[in-house]
Amino acid sequence: MQFFNKLVNWYFNKKSLPYWCIFIFDCAIVFFSYLAIFKVMNGGARTLGVLWQVSLLNLALTVFYAIGFKLFHTYDGILRYSSFVDLQRVGYATVFGAVLSYIAHFFLLQIPYLSVAYIGGGSIMFASLIAMLLLWAVRVLVKTVYDVSLDSLNARLAYVYGVTEGGMGLAKQVRNDKTLNLRLMGFVSEKPKLVNRMLMGLKVWPSDEHLVKHMKSNKIDALLVAQGAKDAFRQNKTLQDELIAAGIHIYMQSKREEWNPEQTGETENGVAATPLKEVSIEDLLPRDEISIDLNSVAKTLRGKCVMVTGSAGSIGSEIVRQICTFQPSHMVLIDSAETPQHDIRLMMAKNFPEIKAETIVTSVSGIIRMEDIFSRYRPDYVFHAAAYKHVPMMENNPSESIENNVYGTKILADMAVKYGVKKFVMISTDKAVNPTNVMGCSKRICEIYVQSLDHAIKTGKIKGVTQFVTTRFGNVLGSNGSVIPLFKRQIKAGGPVTVTDPNIIRFFMLIPEACKLVLEAGTKGNGGEIFVFDMGNPVKIADLAKRMIKLSGATGVEIKYTGLRAGEKLYEEVLNKEETTMPSFHDKIRIAKVRQYDYDTVERDIEDLVEISKHYDDMATVKKMKEIVPEFKSNNSVYEVLDK
């Protein structure tokens, strides 16, 4: 028995047998089926006497079955995943082989050497029936052993959340893939008409206030969320909190990928099983799936030269990746950070070798260098993502904020006009709305400049063709400045997890989703707009920290409140209110209502600001910023004295 267990474990721990092994095994079953029938019909003594002739005849007949196996692809599947379709193929192949054998055996018996091994037509049919039953039995046995005998006692008991949303497919995957170490025990559904029904021999339970208690009492310690049920689950924060508090593990399906036999198991339709992964806090934040008009974006960017500043940053690098899928002719990538920019160069060479890419290490505030780059490459589109973005850092270094964010943007915008860039897309922040810190104000000044420049072009004050578009959004998940990576490091170190204030809230969006909206807004905008992204529901940072601690399974990790940092708000402005925005071409994008500025005045103010910043007089610099943006009121900052 021990040997059998070792053999079984060895077999099922392999991905699958090579197809030729299954092919040879099936042919062997046919061969020995004929041999067995000959022995039954003629006795053991006679069989031994003509064993060589019988073997040759059986081998010849087996060839016809092998042709059937080839025609019907009986060996292509994986035995442990055998289905009714696979058994059908075996049946067709066996019948095909039997018919050919019946026809051919008359001719084979004309060979004197083989005539002593005579086998009648009835015996052929009987041997074929035996072979078919054995071929079926092997497949059913292997599948049964895989489904039952290897169902580990240590496997986690699991429910599937979502039935009609792809839950049935997920359930089949769990039963087929024992490497998941999960045992399916039931389903959970939000739909009353499905509750208490039996599916795959298992009960469907309601998603109500008793669910978690029921799961704990039945030792169900895993909930598997189907792909189509993700949004509904993300919105059910109460259920999430109860599951986390109860220590029940939550798994979600990743997006379906093309089948790779080297990485995943095979399903019946030849597509890879959708991988399961235990949820992170990013997976649980409520958000809607965002789709954009890909055809419009592709038509705009295909075959064009595109410049991306800040190409090594969180937003910039994702913009680069997404733009490259639309087949631009040339990418001009600018960033001041050498090592991350080198990573972008390697990524381009590996993933997009057909696209000519220039990876340049420089600052956007160098006017001579920018002139050289624009004159050399003549970009059609510019996506400006380069900026200093950390609020406390810029609060302590306002001059650098002006040099990089404001002056750098002005240089790029002026060069775009000079060299005929079709569209200039500036990436701003929600912190530019009624700013309370230097960083937010610097981005608001950038918005004012590109807007006034766009207006000056449209009114004929300045000669040019460039359209300037601004996009605003808040925090993005996975960025270097996000609280989530910080919290993860603090939890791993044993705490404490530092939160500035128990009431602070923030909006979050996935980087790829934000960049999709940037591309659509940038390509569809007509110039002069400030596009505001709907960030969904706000998240309380203290609650976020608590959930991350519970999800990690860590014990003894405390939350420490450190007080608001310089320039920090308790909450960012809500940007999607109808009284402050207008609808656009996308339900997740609105157009901000802002006042128009005179270009000459703005340009003069910015030139004065840049000159003041060169003296590194923080108070004088911030004072001038407040003159340009009167709504800039410092919060928890040394610059509050300037507001009195």
Catalytic (active-site) positions: 431
Which positions ≥6 away from 591 have C-beta within 8 Å?
529, 530, 531, 532, 581, 582, 583, 584
Q: How far is CA 489 from the centre of its chain?
A: 23
Which positions ≥6 away from 518 have C-beta within 8 Å?
315, 319, 383, 425, 427, 471
Residue type for 151, please? D
Taking CA atoms, 172 is separated from 176, 233, 259, 633, in Å, by 6, 21, 17, 58
Residue type for 265, please? G
User: Cα–Cα distance between 548 and 530 in angstroms, integer?
Assistant: 34
Q: Got the DSSP string for 165-212? A: TTHHHHHHHHHH-GGG-EEEEEEEES-GGGTT-EETTEEEEE-STTHH
Closest CA to 61 of 103, 25, 89, 24: 103
Closest CA to 252 of 184, 157, 160: 160
Give me the residues paired with residue 359 across strands. Answer: 333
User: Cα–Cα distance between 126 and 482 in angstroms, integer?
Assistant: 72
Residue type for 150, please? L
Q: Got the DSSP string for 374-422? A: HHHH--SEEEE------HHHHHH-HHHHIIIIIIHHHHHHHHHHHTT-S
Instruction: Output DSSP code: residue 148.
Output: I
Task: Label residue 416 left, alpha or beta by phi (over 0 means left) and psi (-120 to 50 means alpha).
Answer: alpha
In 3-state terms, the chain is what percent helix, strand and coil (to 5)? 50, 15, 35
Give me the residues paired with residue 204 across strands. Answer: 187
User: Cα–Cα distance between 511 and 533 in angstroms, integer?
Assistant: 13
Q: Where are the alpha helices (DSSP H) in 531-613?
A: 541-552, 599-613
User: Cα–Cα distance between 154 and 63 in angstroms, integer?
Assistant: 46
Q: Is the bond leading into 496 cis (omega within 30 degrees of zero)?
A: yes
